[in-house]
Structure formats: C-alpha cells, structure tokens
Structure 1
Amino acid sequence: MKVNIFRTLKDIDKELWNSIIKKNNISKSYDFLLSVEQSLNIENEYWYVMFWKNQELVAHTCIFTHYTKLEEVTDVFISIGLLNKIRKYHKNFLKLKLLGCGTPVATCSNVLTIKEEGFIEEVLSELNMILLDIGKKQKVASIMIRDFIGNHHKIGKQFLHYGYKEIESLPTSFVKIKWDNFEDYINSFKSKTKVKMRRNIKRFHSDELEAKLIEDFSPYVEAMNKLYKNVYKKAENKFEKLNEDFFTQINNNLDNTSKAILVFKGEEIVGIELIVEDEDYLRPLYVGLDYDFNEQYRLYFNMIYLIVKTGIERKKDYVELGQTCYLPKIKAGAYVEKMYMYIRFRNNLVNKLFGNSFYKMFKNFAYESAE
C-alpha cells in the first residue's frame, strides 16, 4: 500500500478527495475540512493522508494537533484562577498536546474514509504507524482517534489491537423525520408535552421575533460568532473554541450546503444556528443565544423546534441535534446514540505502564434520561 501525506488540503485535488466519500458525510468533504483548516490554523497543525492500492485511491483521513486543557478532561481538582495566572507567562502549562485523527471541530463523526471493507485492516495498520511517527516528531503526549458511531463502531474497535483504549464520548442525538409538516410534528406528542411545546412557541411569537433561514450569512458572521461565544462560555463540556473566520469559511466554501437560522428581534439578532445539510440529514453545528431574551422567549427550545421544522420542510430523513443538553432534545422527539473514541499514550512503554490510570482520569460522561 502506498501512502501520500500532505500538510494542506489545497495541495490535493478536490474531485479526487471527494470521489470516495459516500453520501451523508459532509464532515469528510473537501470543502468542510478546508473551512476548518483555514479558520483554525493558529494552534492546530494538519496532515492529510491518502492511501493507494494498485494506483487506486482507497482511503483518506485528516490528522491534527490540538492542545487540551487538563482541567477540561479530568475530574481532578485544579484551581482555575491559579492556572490562568500561570498561563499568562506559560501559555501551555498543564495543557496536553494531543495528536488527533479526525478534525478539531466536533462533528459527531470520524473523518476516516475507506472505500471498501476489504481495505480496512491494511489501512488501519498503516494509519497507526503514521500516527505514532507524527506523534513522535511532534512530541505529543497521546493520540486520539474520534468519533465512531453506529456501523462505524466496529471499525473503531479494531484500534484496540494497537494498544488504544475505548472511551465512551458524549453521545449525539437525532430526530427521525416522519411528518409531512410542522403541525403534524407537534400533534405527534402526548397531550402534556404538546401543551408545553405550544406554550413555548406562543411565547416565541408573542413579540416582534422573526426567524429566517439565510443562505448567504456573510453579513451576519460577527453577530453569529458573538452569540456562539455566549453559549460556549456557559457550556459545562467545552469542545473546540471557534472564531469568526470559521463562520466565514463555512459560508464561502459550503455555499450550497450551509445555511443559518437567525432569529431577529427588530434589527437585533438574538438567536443563531449554523447548519449544514447532507442529502438525507440536516446537521445543526453550533447554536448561539442572547441570554437576556432566552427565558422570556424560550429561545433554546424554539431553536430546536425551528431546526426540526426546517428538516421537515427540506424533506430530510433525519435532523442530528448533536451533543449536550439532551433533555430538551429528547423532549422534542430526539433519540440518543452512543459515540466512541480511541486513545493511547504515544510511548509504548508508558502506554502499558500507565495507560489504564490515564483513561480513568477522563470524565465518565453521562447524559440526562428522558424520564
């Protein structure tokens, strides 16, 4: 098997990269990954690996470096105030430098594309050696391969043969679209839930709020980024921290498949949802809220309703509502599906001696039940 490694996606032919990607995998697409690379390139470095067999492209993936704050991935008590003071002078103090296979943006899917099942074993063997080699050169503490869900879980499990440990990540959530219109969706719930949903919707429509589906949201990226940061600051489980340029790049590179749901109060934007769409899936990526109006208008609940409504209107099979805040999503008809990632120390000896202790440090994430 022949392998090519590139440091930027711009050195790869777009049609060639996309040629082995099946439908409903927009997070693996050239345009999506290019948007990530172009906007999140200050702390992150990237490698794009292409696997060839008999001069045929049979697989590809993305590798990246990422700094993770220790306090965000463990339950060990650490004084945040003290850490912030130290990091003014030593910015990477108690930060783990990780090598990831995937993307620094949480997409609830892996970006390992393998054309046919018969190539899996050989590709994973080559990929493991590449990860260890890059990890050594980058002096990373550990290697992480994310995120495996559904049928892809059996592929992820094969990394156990190479010394990785399986960790259950935060699950994702889906709404299966089975209604012809939004009113049918509301009426599908039990009476008590239906009353609450209509009450939330009434509060949303009780004033001059207006929701719009925007295809070219370039004029609004500053406001979108500001509202996204509001949610990021309040989040208990923080993932990547985006910037304004991410919204710009998504708008520019995925012009036919990216959109934004914007909620206006007069001229002011008080709620946003960045969405991308596959052939059968609508995928909201990031929400943003003005918390001054959240309770008054039940903004978060209504953003979920708007996403489902958009999925119905655009004839999708599923809306993926993603990770965290599970209870409101379940109450809106979502089901939850587990996701897994695989992680190991780069050094084989350290991995054998301390691997199990290290993995136990990671939070045992749980989600609220629907009950």
Structure 2
Amino acid sequence: MVKKVLYTTQIKLTTNELSDAWETIANGDIFLSISYLKSLEEGIPSNMQLFFIEVYDMEKVVGIALVQYIEIKQLSTLGERDPWLHKQLRNFCLKKFCPGVLVVGNNLLTGNHGFRHTQGITSDLFLNTIENSLQSIQNQLNIQQKKASMITWKDYTFPDYTSFFKPKKYVTLQAQPNMIFHVNVQWKGFEDYKTALQKKYRQQLQRAQRKIVHLEKKKLNINWIEHNEEQLHALYYAVAENAPFNTFILPKNHFSALKKHLNDQFYLYGYFDQEVLIGFSTLIANGKQMDTYFLGYNPQVQKNYLLYLNMLYDMVAFSINQGFEKIVFGRTALEIKSSIGAEPEEVIGWMQHQKPFIHRNLVKITKWVEPKATWTVRHPFTEKH
C-alpha cells in the first residue's frame, strides 16, 4: 500500500517566527532570504501586509512562500501619468471592485521570488497546498475587516506551472516583458561593451556621458542614507507618481532598511550637481545576477543630463566590471533599455477574482487599467556580439 502524504502549513506573520529551514530552502535567492524579508518588513509600504507560509511534511519543512496583501483602496495615488478621465475611472473601479489583492510573490520585484520547495514535494502538490492556505489568510484579513477580492500569482516564464493553474480556471496575466541584459563572457570591462556597440549606439553612449561630465557620482553608506531619507524619498516619489500605475508607495525608511539588512549586497549611488543630490539609483546583488531596484531623480534636470540613460549605462558598467552574468532591468522604459542591450523576456501571472462577472472579463480589464506599451526592439550590438 502506498502511504498517503498529508502536508500541513504554518502561516507566520513575522520573520522572527520563521524556521531555520527557510533560508536553506530559499536556496540563495536573496529576495527570499531572511535578511531581505526583514528589510521589507521594516520598510514596508503602508498598504501592504506580509504573510510567510511554511509547508510541512510531518515535522520537516519542504516548501516556503511569501504572500503580500495589498490594500489598493488605501493608496492616495495610483499613478498620475494617464489622462484625467481615464485615471479617475480607473481609480474608482479599482477601489470599488478590487479594494484588496493577495499576491503570491513580491509585488516590488519582477520575477519569481514568491516560493521555493524541495524535491520532496511535486510542484502541483506544493501549489495546491499554498492555494489552500490562502483561505486561512483571507480569514485572518476578514477579522481585520479587510477584503482580498483577487488572488494573483507572479511572475513566471511560460509554460511554468500552467498545468496547475489552467484547469482551475485562473486567468493568464501577460504583463510587460522583463528586460534582461546578458553579459558577454568575453567582456573583461566596460570598454569591451563599448567596442561591441554599433556606431549609432556608441555615439548615443558618448553623447549621454558628455552630459554628466561635471556631475559627481557617489556610493552612499548607511549613515548618509539614514540621514537623507527625506531627500531620497522626494526624488523617488517624483518618479513614482508619474508612473502609469502604482499598487504601493515605498516609505521613507525603505532604502535605509535595505542597506541595514543587506549591507554590501545593496548598492545606492547618488548623482550630485555641486553637492546637491539630483538623482539616485539602487542595485541588489542576487548571486551572479544583478537586479536593478528603485531609483529617483529631479524631473526638471533629468532631460538636460540624460540622467536616466546614464544611470542605465552605469548599471551596465558596474555589473560587467564586478563579474555579474546578467542584469534584471524590470519591465518599465522598455525601448530605452533595449537600446543599451537588454532583451525582452516574457513573463506571465495568474489571476482569480471572487466576482464571476469580473473574473470572466479580467483580461479586458487589465488591458484597460494598464495598456501594453507599444515599443520597438533595438539591436545595439554588432553582429559578432
């Protein structure tokens, strides 16, 4: 007789409750590491709540998952870039019909940083166990008089996990592609990258670098970050509020919390014009992969200095010089990232809404809320690259 294995779950509300096995099962993914999760816990957006799920086979942990509850109706701004009427209709509909969302994964990032499991449990069985535990989380939220009207699982490369989600009638969410920069193994430094560019794109690089020749770039430490949280947040917010769509706003202490807990794996670079901070960028080292994180700049000077483009080039230079194999640029500003050598990688999510009518129309609704960007893929490298 085959023994039937029953898996149980424990839902933890703080990182201090996590078992020692969590870090082992995270298997080197910094975004599931306890250090990162502590920074998220400390610098969490005001409309977000964290849940940590551990899956047990008897007394042994065989899987872990991060779940975020995002209270959409609590946000003061969902993004200001779109036309006024579209923005008002979108905000009204979201706050009325989707006041709260449960996300299996990390809504601050692009990529599958939501769960891991051992070989002791199949993917479908693990996902089913996590799915069942979401009801317990919803029950906890109900006690707090909060409601999760939709469940989202993010972000996966097709066809990962399709065999689990499709029969359950989840709706596929095709988001903007994740822009990935693959570092050529033959490059020993940034000069090799420059050489590999076609003339047109090499001139773009040179033109951009001339714009910031008098600016000073500084790697900022924990003391500076802690004492200048207001400045950093103001620059971050100037960018965030002009995004087409936001589901959260970072708190002022978010970057200092990251530096405190991740230390040398978190990089924050400031751009100064005569000692005045006009922009900053952040990076997180995740094994041999470099993930770009949030940035900020003064919109009034951004165009004059081509500051955003220069930040992208600096991220490429740093990652090449430090020996990273690829850079994850996320899914914004697709064309400009393509022009420096990043390539699109399609990612999908899976969604389920509690109201049947809305669920049946989720694809149309998501396209209306956040229309897919129209852009042209660039090919900046010479053929031999």
Q: What TM-score do the two structures reach when normalised by structure 1? A: 0.87
Aligned counterpart, 2:381? none
Quote the offset at 1:104 in angstroms. 3.7
Aligned counterpart, 2:199? 191
CA-based RMSD: 2.9
Paired residue type of 1:18: E
Structure 2 CA distance for partners of 1:365 and 1:141, relative to 1, 3 Å = same
Q: What TM-score do the two structures reach when normalised by structure 2? A: 0.84
Work out whether residues 47 and 248 of structure 2, in 8 Å CA contact, stay in contact via their aligned partners in 1. no
Work out whether residues 37 and 46 of structure 1, in 8 Å CA contact, stay in contact via their aligned partners in 2. yes
Q: Deviations over 1:322-362 (max 9, x none)?
A: 1110111100011011111111023xxx44x5522133211
Q: Deviations over 1:291-338 (max 9, x none)?
A: 222122110110000000110121100111111101111000110111
Residue 98, structure 1, aligned to residue 101, structure 2: yes
Residue 256, structure 1, aligned to residue 264, structure 2: yes
Work out whether residues 229 and 256 of structure 2, in 8 Å CA contact, stay in contact via their aligned partners in 1. yes
Out of 222, 225, 237, the position equivalent to 2:230 is: 222
Out of 301, 306, 309, the position equivalent to 2:309 is: 301
Aligned counterpart, 2:3? none
Aligned counterpart, 1:357? 361
Deviates more, 1:358-367 or 1:161-170: 358-367
Helix, strand or coil at the partner of 1:361: helix
Cα distance in 1 between the residues matched to 2:10 and 2:90: 40
Cα distance in 1 between the residues matched to 2:154 and 2:298: 31
Paired residue type of 1:218: E
Helix, strand or coil at the partner of 1:362: helix
Aligned counterpart, 1:213? 219
Cα distance in 2 between the residues matched to 1:192 and 1:129: 54
Quote the offset at 1:145 in angstroms. 1.1
Percent of aligned positions that are identical? 19
Residue 64, structure 1, aligned to residue 72, structure 2: no
Aligned counterpart, 2:132? 129
Residue 113, structure 1, aligned to residue 116, structure 2: yes
Residue 44, structure 1, aligned to residue 52, structure 2: no
Q: Deviations over 1:36-90 (max 9, x none)?
A: 22222632222211011243211111122112369969x9995656999x9xxxx
Helix, strand or coil at the partner of 1:170: coil
Cα distance in 2 between the residues matched to 1:369 and 1:275: 26
Quote the offset at 1:252 in angstroms. 0.9
Q: Deviations over 1:267-308 (max 9, x none)?
A: 111121111101201111111111222122110110000000
Structure 2 CA distance for partners of 1:167 and 1:194, relative to 1, 3 Å = same
Quote the offset at 1:18 in angstroms. 0.8
Aligned counterpart, 1:369? 376
Work out whether residues 110 and 148 of structure 1, in 8 Å CA contact, stay in contact via their aligned partners in 2. no
Work out whether residues 176 and 317 of structure 1, in 8 Å CA contact, stay in contact via their aligned partners in 2. yes
Deviates more, 1:62-71 or 1:231-240: 62-71
Cα distance in 1 between the residues matched to 2:96 and 2:361: 21
Residue 33, structure 1, aligned to residue 32, structure 2: no
Aligned counterpart, 1:268? 276
Work out whether residues 148 and 156 of structure 1, in 8 Å CA contact, stay in contact via their aligned partners in 2. no
Cα distance in 1 between the residues matched to 2:200 and 2:26: 43
